[in-house]
Copies of this chain bind each other. A is one copy, B any other.
Amino acid sequence: MSSTEQFKQAVGVSTVLAQIAGHASHTAFSIPGPIEVSDEVLFANAHPSMSHVSPDFIPVFGDCIRMMRQPFLIAGSGTLGWDQVASNLVEPGENALVLHSGYFGDSFADCLETYGANVDQLKAEIGAAVSQEAVADALKKKKYKLLTFTHVDTSTAVLSDAKAIVETVRRVSPETLVALDGVCSVASEEIHMDQWDVDVIIAASQKGLGTPPGLSILVASTRAIKVFNSRKSRPTSYYSSWKKWLPIMKAYESGKPSYFATPPVNLIYAFHASLLAITKSAPSLAERYELHREASRRIKTAAKDLGLKQLPLDPAFAATGMTALWYPDGLGAGDILPRLAKKGIIAAGGLHAETKDKYFRIGHMGITAVEKTRGDVDTVIKALKETLAEAAAEK
């Protein structure tokens, strides 16, 4: 059976699969990644074993590469994208500037330092992103090979203005490479890589891209590849080395197998199923973004009506795919999260070291936002309302 036929069949049997597996009764799941995954994607993840060099698998891998526009697709978590950037685009002793809008800025800086970069961080206050003035000032003071920022920091739900950051870089220090950490933004926040002139987008399978975790996804611009090709020293990682992976991705894209390390075959099938839904099916990509904005507006408005304050200090800093909310005065994780869970909503606690016990996070990416018939957004809002009423009544 061809893989296309198998996918057609998968769509047909997904309901059966869900029923026999008891998936239909699965608790609605609302953390900012891993996110809920469609039955079609889960089914593809259960694809029978397949050789990574077989004629059935090659076009599936090739399709993923084409649909993501020549990415690196490597078995690993989102974190591996940092290693790719740090070990391929920066040489030991070169300068990197990290814009910090939460937990993940510190980690990316740590990763860059591991591979020998000299790192400076610009830190915003909690709930804010670094200002363009601060970015411009830093770029004027020192020559940076690379600037990185977290598009949506999962720890704070703070959204950075990607377009403005690249504009500032191109105005003040045009050769500096710009890496956008989009693990928590790709497919839920609008990104226009070419138009905005972003050099690297780092993603992972388990958030907006709607696939189980385990796949590191990275797209590099022509400029980034050129900088990589003109390195003086060898890449400082083996597993993350683009020298190894670039020929592999090119081979599969052109319909030929090639080997460096075994690709996560089943996850590639699952990713393929999700990419088909995102890029080739209704709703369109533009409509999907709008559905994400609508879900976000509804949840944020409901939270506001309930007297809950967001971590992001300004609506301009608030992510679309997730919401971070301070616990109300006098209430904490123990009052809120277990009650939400009882009502079928698994939310996440805080993650930012300084304030992690004072807030919680709700994810609304992928099918939770896009497939209205699931009713996930309604369930979240209803559960929030009831939880706050119960918690207040018991205090």
List the interface of chain A (C-beta within 8 A of B): 1, 6, 9-10, 13, 16-17, 20-23, 25-26, 29, 31, 33-37, 42-43, 45-54, 75-80, 82-83, 86, 110-111, 114-115, 204, 206, 212-216, 234-241, 259-267, 346, 348, 351
Q: State in angstroms the CA–CA spacing of A83 and B261 once bound together.
A: 12
A265 and B80 within 8 A (CB): no
Most chain B CB neighbours (cut-off 10 Å) among A53, A83, A238, A348: A238
Which listed residue, B6, B34, B80, B238, touches A111 by the CB 8 Å rule?
A: B238
CB-CB nearest in chain B for A43: B46
CB-CB nearest in chain B for A204: B262
Name the B residues within 8 Å of A9 (CB-CB): 21-22
A-B contact pairs, 16 of them (CB 8 A): A6-B21, A17-B20, A34-B49, A42-B47, A42-B48, A49-B212, A75-B76, A75-B80, A79-B238, A80-B239, A82-B239, A86-B238, A114-B235, A114-B237, A214-B266, A259-B351
B36 and A49 within 8 A (CB): yes
Nearest-neighbour CB distance to chain B for A321, whole angstroms, equals: 15
Question: Chain A interface mostly helix, strand, loop or mixed?
Answer: loop
When A43-B46, A213-B264, A240-B239 are in contact, do A51 and B31 touch as well, CB less than 8 Å?
yes
CB-CB nearest in chain B for A235: B114
A6-B21, A21-B43 provided; 5 other pairs, C-beta below 8 A?
A26-B48, A34-B49, A53-B348, A115-B238, A212-B266
Q: State in angstroms the CA–CA spacing of A29 and B49 once bound together.
A: 8
B20 and A213 within 8 A (CB): no
A46 and B42 within 8 A (CB): yes
Q: State in angstroms the CA–CA spacing of A26 and B54 once bound together.
A: 14
Q: State in angstroms the CA–CA spacing of A263 and B206 once bound together.
A: 10
Q: State in angstroms the CA–CA spacing of A101 and B259 once bound together.
A: 19
Cβ-closest 5 pairs across A and B? A214-B264, A79-B261, A46-B46, A77-B261, A212-B266
